[in-house]
Structure 1
Amino acid sequence: MEEQFVKQLLQGDEKAFDEFTKHYRNYLFRAIYSVLRNEKDAEDVLQEVLMKIYGALPRYNGKGLKTWITRIAVNHSIDWKRKIARRKEDSMDDEALKQHASSGKLVELPLLHKETKEAVHRRLKEMPGNYRDVIYAFYIEEKSYKEIASDLNLEVANVKMKLHRGRSWMKKHWKEEDFK
């Protein structure tokens, strides 16, 4: 039955897609709902998943259709959930910024940021030299990994490693109160 669905769908048979949808709709809905735990969201994502499955059919390898469509449904649901979580975070950040702006404190933000940078800059002299340059470039000069790697003649992986080790060193040797 699965092979027949796939063959007909690949030939563009709309009736086969309707049959496919009827046959797997509830199954896919349950898979999606198990991730999202919200009926309305699961319905919305189900429509997207059906279209995604239809578009991905040419890449189907002919083994385990149910497993394949379940993987697509679950992965898409997880991606959707992450996207919604990011939107909530962004809107919360926007709301906090609006509240901060309405309280008249928005002017203080760049000044606080500058003061923190200056405190970090002063304390960098205590840090071992092999971490200091990378930490300085990343946090003070706000350079990307690629830019730092190019400037210091390092591989990007080495920059990441030095940043990680430098952060660990800072956590061990510095206290937050030192920067207030």
Structure 2
Amino acid sequence: MKRYEGMVYSQARKAFLTKEEAEDFTQDVFLKAYESLSQFRGEAQFSTWLFQIAKFHITKVNKKKSHIQADWTEDVATVPDNSKPSTVEVLDKEETHHILHSLICKLPKSYQLPIRLHYFENKPLKEIANDLNIKLGTIKSHISRGKELLRKWWSHEIEG
């Protein structure tokens, strides 16, 4: 757990507003991984498998939160209060994160994981290549192509 805790926690910090939520989520992911350990086939690195569990559960939690936040956002918008700009900023940041996450999920699978590992886990390209057993040049190419698609989709999302 100590070896992979930082990886899971850093994902949780990006997905949740508070440190406590991120810590609770990190514990939940390790509990889910422990409960599912018999399903780990060793076809991928353990870190990749654990990352997928965390990703799945973040998506699941965000779907639940988005329904609650939609109602809450409407209520907040109708109440005049001087503290609302910071609340709106928090919601904007969360919405931006949600849009980016959904765009990354649309990428081909071969682009998704290298981008997540490099930009969200801060893993060096060589380490990603070793972990995924893919040539370094291929990893660089996948990240470059994935970023290009994200730029294109992002501009469409913002303009559209």
Judge same fold: TM > 0.5, yes or no: no
Could you tell me the TM-score, scaled by structure 1's length? 0.36
Could you tell me the TM-score, scaled by structure 2's length? 0.40
